[in-house]
Structure formats: C-alpha cells, structure tokens
Chain A
Amino acid sequence: QVQLVESGGGVVQPGKSLRLSCAASGFSFSAYEMHWVRQAPGKGLEWVALLSYDGNNEYYADSVRGRFTVSRDNSKSTLYLQMNSLRPEDTGLYYCARGRDAYYKYCDYWGQGTQVIVSA
C-alpha cells in the first residue's frame, strides 16, 4: 500500500534553515510527480511546491519561491524540501503528497505531515 512518511520538522528561529524529508513506499516513486502542501495552525491548505518525476521541473508558491527548494532522490524513494530564511508565517504542518495524472495533477495520497514552528 502507498505510504508517505514525512520527517525533519521542529522548532527553528527566524532566518534559519530546515530540511524536510518524505519517505515513500508501496509504489514506483520515480514515476510520480510529488507535491508539498502546508497548513498553518487553524488555517486552510496552502500548496507549496511540485517536483516532476525526474526532478527536472520545479514549481513553487509565490510565498516560498527563492527560499524553498524541492528535490528528490529516486534511488532512495525520498522527497525533500529545503527551507531557508524561514519566517514565522512558515509555521505549520507540512504534508507531502503523491501527484497523479500529468494533466490534472491531483494529490491522491498524503502523508500525515511534519510540524514546523518558526519562532524566536
């Protein structure tokens, strides 16, 4: 069965960096696009980033472009999110999700999320 397990969250000071990981299993990871989606406490979903199956194409939300970088290691079936210059508004639960369909790009499976808190 498809499993996505995020890790790497924690408490970090503003301006610092953090790298999230998402370990995938139960499917052919290298064949799928992967998304990051976050949710601030008590708020709605915010799409963060998308990475193509081969890692060659990246897309970002305006709020994180230039600060966050998404990458993947297909040999390890792992997705990453490198977050630099963190701000308090980056606080939230970060989900990785499998992208399905090259056209409709919906997220059919989600992990349980990893918590990021940016605070002095």
Chain B
Amino acid sequence: DIQMTQSPSSLSASVGDRVTITCRASQSINDYLNWYHQKPGKAPKFLIYAASTLQTGVPSRLSGSGSGTDFTLTISNLQPEDFGTYYCQQSFSAPYTFGQGTKLEI
C-alpha cells in the first residue's frame, strides 16, 4: 500500500500570510494527488485534483504542485475561513490512502 505523509502536522499563521503544506508519497504516484479541507464538525470539502487542478469555486489563492512523490499545497493571503485541517489523498492505486492531516490554526 502507498503511504502518504504530510508535514507539518500543525501550524499557526496569521491572516494575510502565505503557508505551504507538504505531502510525500511512499512511491511515485505521478500526479494522482487530491487535496481536501475539513472544518471541525463538518464533512470534508474537495479542493484540488491531479495535484494542481482547482475544483470550481475554490479561490485562486490556493494552489497545488508536484509530481512523483513530493507535493505541496500553498495558500496565499490567508483568510480566517482557511482554518481547519487539510488532507492529501493518493488516487494512483487502491487502497486510496489519505495523509494524516495538517491542522492550520489562524
């Protein structure tokens, strides 16, 4: 099975900051990498697929990059609604494993 490791596990930032979350796969997954955002008590919300393609409606201050084993999610001009936990997920091969999550505190 492919293991997904996110770093950091948590981070604190201020409104207006730029933050980067890293996701590493235990083997190459090409660009089969998805990102989700979850707020406490809510279902996850889908953000990005194919490592860098934003879902319709996701603000352009979010961006994803990477291929192979190393990926990043960058949020520019951080807003209060960006707090919560971010998860990466590989969809290269089943089981479609998630990273352990990165908790972002504003």
Contact = CB atoms under 8 A, between A and B. Distances in A.
A111 interface: yes
Contacts of A107: 34, 36, 44, 46
B81 to A, nearest CB: 18
Interface residues of A, number: 25
A59 B94 contact: yes
Interface residues of B, number: 24
Contacts of A61: 95
Given A45-B87, A62-B1, A110-B43, A104 B50 contact: yes
Interface in B43-80: 43-46, 49-50, 55
Tell me which of B44, B50, B85, B97 has the highest count of chain A C-beta atoms within 10 A of its own C-beta. Answer: B44
List the 4 closest A-B pairs by CB distance, nearest first: A59-B94, A110-B43, A105-B91, A44-B101
Interface of A: 35, 37, 44-47, 50, 59-62, 95, 100-101, 103-113
